[in-house]
Amino acid sequence: MIPQFLWDHAPAMTVAVPLLAAFLCPLIGKFTATGRKAWVLAAAAATSALALFTAWRVYTLGTWVYVFGATVPNLSVPPDSGGIPIRIIFEVDAMSALMLVIVAIVGFSVILYSLSADGKRSGLEGYYTLFLLLIASIVGMVSTGDLFNFFVFFEISGLASAALVAYRVEAGRAVEAGLKYFVVSTLAGIFMLFVIAILYGQYNALNIAMLASRMQFTMLDKIALVLIIGALATKAGSVPMHFWTPDAYALAPSSVTALLVVASQASLYGLFRLIFTLYNLSLNAATVGWVLIILGVLSMFVGVTMAIPQKDVKRLMAYHAISQTGYMLLGVGTGLAVLGNVAMLDAFGRMAMEGGIFHIINHAIYKGLLFLTAGAIIYRVGTRDMNRMGGLGHRMKWTMIFFMIGALAIAGIPPFNGFASKLMIYESVYLFNPVLAIIAMVVSILTLASFVKVFHSIFMGPQLPEYEHVEEAPTAMLWGMGILAALVILFGLFPQQVVDSLITPAANALLDQSGYLASILGGA
């Protein structure tokens, strides 16, 4: 049923298809505009299908190694190379497969939404080219097994997303936000390049598996670890480096913001991949784990307290995105802190990591949903200021339902998916250190409080006279939001099945460094 071609080449096709579509987009757009919309939708559907197929095959059959430019796709160590893996190698293991699932779901919903939300902008051939390039770069970032390839896709995503954030040139503030974001992102990229130079200079290898097998934790490697945490946590939006997040998320077009969330999480994935697979037990796990936990707790707290007084609805949601990133760092940091201690790892360390990783996919889905609903409201009403909105629940019923689903999910109310992952984080972190779990619960309550405020000020109240003409959002937007909302409910109703089939293999793949090495080094 599935052609043999896909069985052999799907990881490369998942990157090649959006690239090809992005390069053909301006040409097609010059002739017809409707043709461009159909082309972009077809490209997004094809990319999502390929990503889901790759993820399915990795979950059922194990890690997929794909070598670019070899004679057969899985020949990572050619017979005449002396036992060293050569060429760029894409290694898709279960954690990468989870990120591919996220990109597939959110990427398709966002493009479906953007067909009607961004239909009236000018300069659209550049817009969709950059959009598809951003999707291609996120797919590349999560699939690759080569450190320099990761850096190249990281820079492509920074360029594409900065240009998309500054897209609305006629309003000067969007360009200011894009400028701020781009300077921070470039600085992070330069520090990543320093790390590559340090690691390459010591071990003469760029492949993550090869570096991991040659790693001795010298002083230079400690410096490299600090730079990795600094650069990748900056792009993920955690607290001491979070200043670009509110501006960039608030002023980008709404479909771009939902995809920026996924790009930030791809950087977070890069951080976890480099810490767990490149260093693993050679580093001082307790110290680095506590560093991640402290970053997480600061992000949670600062994010939610800065969110409460906001008047701009998207800026408020951006601060909540910072806060939820803190949950992921807290969960995985707890798992890292007990990495050396097998008893504690089995007791609560694995559950903490599963909670953190489950929160990644949950956050992408409900945060994407929230940003898309905010975009629908702004599209109809024309302003982002919540003090001027009110009584929209009378007219925009579906948008109100989707917003309510997203808000309850982010606050951690059962039966939505936020509750499942937050409960796993609370339980396991409580066994590690009770104070952290209590801080996490307080932050969750404050999240609920701020979203009650937002819901009330936008949707409740009497119908305002200046919004008499406001109708429901267009159909394509509703379908895009509907896909994400259905997944929020689905993941919330069956969390045990989701954890067993998607999350536990991902956490095990992250913890199991020898399996990763064996796929590339121990034979073909």
Partner 1 sequence: MFANLPYLTVVVLTVIGLSIILLKRNMVKVTMGLNILTSAVNLLIIVLGYREGGIAPIYTLAPQTYMVLPTPQALCLTSIVIGVATTALLLSFTMVIYRKYGTVNVAEMRELKE
Partner 2 sequence: MQMSKIVRLSADIMYPFVVIFGLYVIMHGHITPGGGFQGGAVVATGAALVIVAYAFHDVKAMIPKILLYLQESGGLLLFIGAGLAGMLLGFPFFFNWLANSGSLFGTPIVPLGPNPGELNTGGFLPLMNIAVGIEVWGGLTLVILYMISGVGKEEY
In the list 73, 85, 178, 406, the residue contacting partner 1 (rule: CB under 8 A) is 178
- From first CA to last CA, the distance across the chain in angstroms is 27
247 binds partner 1 (CB under 8 A): yes
194 binds, among partner 1, partner 2, none (CB under 5 to 8 A by kind): partner 1
Report which residue type is found at 74.
N
- 3, 31, 69, 462: residue in contact with partner 2 (rule CB under 8 A): 69
Is residue 201 at the binding interface for partner 1, with CB under 8 A as the rule? yes
Examine residue 85 and tell whether it contacts partner 2 (CB under 8 A). Answer: no
Q: Provide the minimum distance between the beta carbon of 80 and partner 1 in the complex, in angstroms, as a whole number.
A: 15
3-state secondary structure 147-215: HHHHHHHHHHHHHHHHHHHCCCCCCHHHHHHHHHHHHHHHHHHHHHHHHHHHHHHHHCCCEHHHHHHHC
Output the smallest distance, CB 27 to partner 2, in A.
5
Question: Which of partner 2, partner 1, none sits in contact with 466, Cβ below 5 to 8 A by type?
Answer: none
Instruction: Report how far apart, in Å, the C-alpha atoms of 486 and of each of 395, 404, 405, 417, 460 are.
Output: 22, 13, 9, 11, 24
Report the nearest approach of partner 2 to the CB of residue 380 (Å).
32
189 touches partner 1 (CB under 8 A): yes
CA dist 513 and 509 (Å) reads 7
Q: Is 176 in the site for partner 1 (CB under 8 A)?
A: yes
Q: Among partner 1, partner 2, none, what binds residue 9 when CB lies within 5 to 8 Å by partner kind?
A: partner 2
How many CB atoms within 10 Å of residue 298?
17
Nearest-10 Cα torsion for 323, 329, 330, 331: 120
Pick the stretch among 11-19, 204-212, 488-496, 515-523 that binds partner 2 (CB under 8 A).
11-19
Among 37, 51, 55, 73, binds partner 2 (CB under 8 A): 73
Q: Which residue number, 306 or 510, has a Cβ lying nearer to partner 1? A: 306
Q: Which of residues 122-161 bind partner 1 (CB under 8 A)?
A: 148, 152, 155, 159
Q: Tell me if 183 contacts partner 1 by CB under 8 A.
A: yes
Number of C-beta neighbours around residue 355 at 10 A = 30
Which helix (H) or strand (E) is 66 found in, with range? strand 64-67
In terms of CB distance, is 185 or 324 closer to partner 1? 185
Amino acid (one-letter) located at 287: T
The DSSP 8-state label assigned to residue 217 in this structure reads: -
DSSP H or E stretch at residue 92: strand 89-92
- Rounded CA gap, 216 and 229, in Å? 18
Stretch of 13-21, 397-405, 439-447, 485-493 lying at the interface with partner 2 (CB under 8 A): 13-21
Q: Hey, how many other C-beta atoms are within 10 angstroms of the C-beta on 508?
A: 16
Site residues for partner 2, 19-48, by CB under 8 A, read: 19-20, 23-24, 26-27, 30
Contacts of 143 (CB under 8 A, 6+ apart): 11, 14, 15, 54, 90, 91, 92, 96, 100
Interaction site with partner 2 (CB under 8 A): 5, 8-9, 12-13, 16, 19-20, 23-24, 26-27, 30, 66-73
Interaction site with partner 1 (CB under 8 A): 148, 152, 155, 159, 162-163, 166, 169, 172-173, 175-180, 182-183, 186-187, 189-190, 193-194, 196-197, 200-201, 204, 206, 247, 251, 306
